[in-house]
Each structure stands twice: as structure tokens, then as C-alpha cells.
Structure 1
Amino acid sequence: MSSHIYLRMLGYVVTITLHVGNIVVMSQPKPKHIVVDPRIAAYAELQARFFTCWTFFLQIVCAFSGLICDTLVLWNTSNKDYKLPKYLRGFRNTLFSAIVWPCTWLVFLFFWTLYIYDRSLIYPEFVDDYLTPTSNHIMHTAIIPIVLWEVVFQPRYIPKSHARNLKHLTFHLVLYFIVMIYTYVERNVWIYPVFKRLYGTPYFFIVLASLLLICVIFYYIQWFLTKIIWGRLEKENTKIKIH
């Protein structure tokens, strides 16, 4: 059996430990002077609506599903005809390919580009009192080696049609845009300050369209990397067994 399966499992365990551990740390009680700050209170209350949080949560789900898949494969090594349940395998592959990979790159590029240009547009200074630099990098930097690890150690075939994956990706992004706009309507606040400046101008819709385009571009980049690393794996008659 290829050692790739053990390296994948190591990556899944590290991913789960890193993100869950970070959630525990972020959930710890904060000093009173921080809690009473209305800006931080609003930020903490809206945490579940941040795209970053959606993304690292889905990385956890993806890691759990991958760990289950590889565990089942190890348990059934003696059965040469064993195949993973179709829907479990499909869920893992679709979740990663259609959503986790492109959205992870979107979070990384969007956050750090704005942070370097003008952090007030994406990560105001008062947030430093709520989140440590380590937590910040776990959510916005460490997410990249996590998805790269999967591409490097998970053999995959390149789908003949990308329509279904692109539909999943588009639905995910449109759903988030709806949540973001609903939050503005409900609370008169934009989750990300940059949209407060853009709202009411043509750039608002241009930026939203650009975010979708970035995700689509990176969706296809994963298959370019897959082809380089693994070759073009066909669904049938492949030299590499895909679990």
C-alpha cells in the first residue's frame, strides 16, 4: 500500500487539531475591558457569518471525511475488491474540489491583499484585542498548506465535465453573498468594512464578480497541478488506484 495514505491521514489529523484547537482558544473568556467594547462585541457576535469561518469549518469537515475514507481503506486492506461507499467518496471529493480548494485561496488572497494595502478594510486594529496573531495566521495562512497537502498526496482523476462542481461553487458563493447582504439589511453593518466603502458604487458588484472569478480560476488551477503531480487519471483503467 502506498505511503501516501499515511501522509494524508497525518495531514487530516493536523488539520483537525489545528482548527479545533484554535476554536477552543478563541472561545476562552476574554478580559472584561475587551468584552465591553461594542466593536468587539459586534465582531464576536457575527463570527459565524465570516467567510473565513465558513472555510476553516469546511476544512475540518473535509479532513474528517478524508480520515474516515482512509481508515476504511486500511481496515479493508485484506479485501482486494473493496471500494469506498460511492456517496462517501463523492462527498469528500466534491467538497474539496468544488468548495474547499477554491474558497481557501479566495480567503488567503482577499484577506492578505487588503490587509497589506489597508488593514482597516478587512481586519481593523481593534480585532487584535480579540484574536491573537497565531489565531489570525491559522485562519488565513495555515489554510494554504492544508489544501496543498491534499493535492500532493491525494491521487484524483480530472473530471470530464466540471459543470457540477462549478454549480456547487457558485451556489456556495451566492449563498454567502446573500448572508452578507442579509446581515447588512438586518443590522445595517457590513461584515467586511471594504464593502461599506464600495456599497452604492459600481465597484461593489465588480468586486463580487471578481471574487467569483478568482474562485473559478483557482478551481481550474487545482486540475493543472493534479495533472502535473499525478498525470491525467481516468475514471476507468488507471495505473493509480484511487480510493
Structure 2
Amino acid sequence: MERCSWANGARLLLHLFAAINLAKAVYHDYRYAQLPELAVTLRLEPPLWGMFKYITFLGGLLQSGYYALALTHDLWRLPSLRNLRDYILATFVVPLALTASLTFWSLYAIDRNAIYPGLLDSIYPGWLNHVLHSYIAVYALIEFVSTRHRYPDRSRGFVGLAAFMAGYLVWNYYFWFRTAIWVYPFLGGTDWYIQVLYFALIIVVAFVYYLVGEHVNRVLWVKTTGDMVAKKVALLSLVTF
């Protein structure tokens, strides 16, 4: 009983901290991390919809909402909340967290100026960049270790993820058709087939991460595995290291 109470308390604190941390980051991103008007004048940014153009901001909203929902379930334990929590985690939180984090840092390593020019350091503080591009993946991995989830039927999960990714694709092309400016400037200097390849790769990768999350959840929480605790401790050690 004491172990169960300790685990429940740690889970609640995780959800509380993640919800507050992500909500603070999203608010700061929306309220303060604004490019100057010169960026619009120079056609470096589409003059529409503010931060709602960016998948990082939208993903931050979704992630903070998820941890607020998980915290609510910790307090009230309603079955309907658990079902919704598990569906959102499987379909959106894990695939989008890993996609946003690994894609950003991969492009950053290849050519930082193409994805995150140095001048942005004065607008986006380092802590904000890491919360929205690094911590989201760390929180998702710790969530796997600390909380048991029931993955939905794969068809339901795929439909939800496909709808989100299709919406993201349409959203990008909407701004381009309206303004002839790409939301992500590095796309402006590439050929059309590179753009198609980029979006196709992002969508495929998101589905791969869905399957990875499903597999990790099954391995960590399979009922008959005697070394389940050891696996969780090992994974948590890798995350915190």
C-alpha cells in the first residue's frame, strides 16, 4: 500500500510539474517570443495567425492540455477520463513529441541557421527552446515508465494521427497560398519535390513513433514479465542521465 501511495504521489507531481512547465512555456511563447514587425516586412514570416502557425506552439498547447487532463484523472479517477487520456497520449502526445523533438534537433545539427538562426537566441530564451523541443520528449518517456496506459485499437489511433498530420499539411499550404511565404523559411529555398519529400517523411516518421510508443508501452507493462520493474528503472535511468 505504501509503495502504491508513493507511486501515485510521484505520478501526480510529474503531471502537475509538466502541466505547469508546458503551460508557462506556451504562454511565454505566445506573449513574449515575438519576431519584430520587420520580419513580416521582409517577408520572413507570414503575417497571419501569429504563433498558431507553428507546430511547436500547437504541440505545446496539446502537451500541456494532456498533462492537465492526466492530473485531473489522478485526482478523480473517472473511467471516461482515463480512456480519453490514453487515447490522446497514444495518438498525439508521443508521436508529436518525438517528431517535433527529433526532427528539430536533427535539422539543428545539420544546419542550425536553416531551422534556428542565432538571432533567435535573443527572442527565444534557451529554457523555452528546450521545454518545447526537448522536455516534451523527456516527459513522454517518463510518463511511459510511471503510468500504465491502454493503447486504443491501432485503426482508431491511426485515424486520429492521420487527421492531425493532414491538418498540419493543409495548414502549411494555406499560409503559402495566402502569402507565398513558407511558415518554415528553409522550405522556400528548396525544389517542390524536396518539399513533398520533407512533408512525407515527417508524416511517415510520426506513424513510426506511434508504433514505437505502442511497443514500449507493451514491453513496460506486460503482465507476465517478471523483470518489469527492472526494465522501468533502466529506462528511467537512461532518460534522467
- TM-score normalized with structure 2 length: 0.81
The alpha carbon displacement at 1:28 in A equals 5.5
How many residue pairs end up in the alignment?
218
Alignment of 1:17-166 (within 5 A): 17-26=20-29, 35-38=36-39, 42=45, 46-73=50-77, 84-86=78-80, 88-159=81-152, 161-166=153-158
Cα distance in 1 between the residues matched to 2:157 and 2:110: 32
Which residue in 2 is equivalent to 1:78? none
Gaps of 5+ in 2: 225-241
C-alpha contact (below 8 Å) 2:66/2:89 kept by paired residues: yes
Which shows bigger deviation, 2-11 or 213-222? 2-11
Gaps of 5+ in 1: 74-83, 234-243
Cα distance in 1 between the residues matched to 2:33 and 2:66: 30
Cα distance in 2 between the residues matched to 1:177 and 1:104: 17
Q: How much identity, in percent, do the aligned residues show? A: 20
Which shows bigger deviation, 162-171 or 141-150? 141-150
Secondary structure (helix, strand or coil) at the match of 1:156 reads coil
Alignment of 1:175-186 (within 5 A): 175-186=167-178
Evaluate the alpha carbon distance shift between residue 27 and residue 175 of structure 1 in structure 2; reply closer, same or farther with a 3 A threshold.
Answer: closer
* Residue type at the aligned position of 2:115: I
The alpha carbon displacement at 1:22 in A equals 2.3
**CA deviation map 1:169-193 (0-9, x unaligned):** 0100110111111011112211112
C-alpha contact (below 8 Å) 1:158/1:232 kept by paired residues: no
CA RMSD for the aligned pairs? 2.5
Which residue in 1 is equivalent to 2:182? 190
Cα distance in 2 between the residues matched to 1:8 and 1:153: 6
Evaluate the alpha carbon distance shift between residue 231 and residue 48 of structure 1 in structure 2; reply closer, same or farther with a 3 A threshold.
Answer: same
Which shows bigger deviation, 218-227 or 119-128? 119-128
The alpha carbon displacement at 1:36 in A equals 4.7
C-alpha contact (below 8 Å) 1:62/1:95 kept by paired residues: yes
**Structure with the larger helix share:** 2
- TM-score normalized with structure 1 length: 0.80
Q: 2:9 aligns with which of 6, 14, 27?
A: 6
The alpha carbon displacement at 1:197 in A equals 2.6
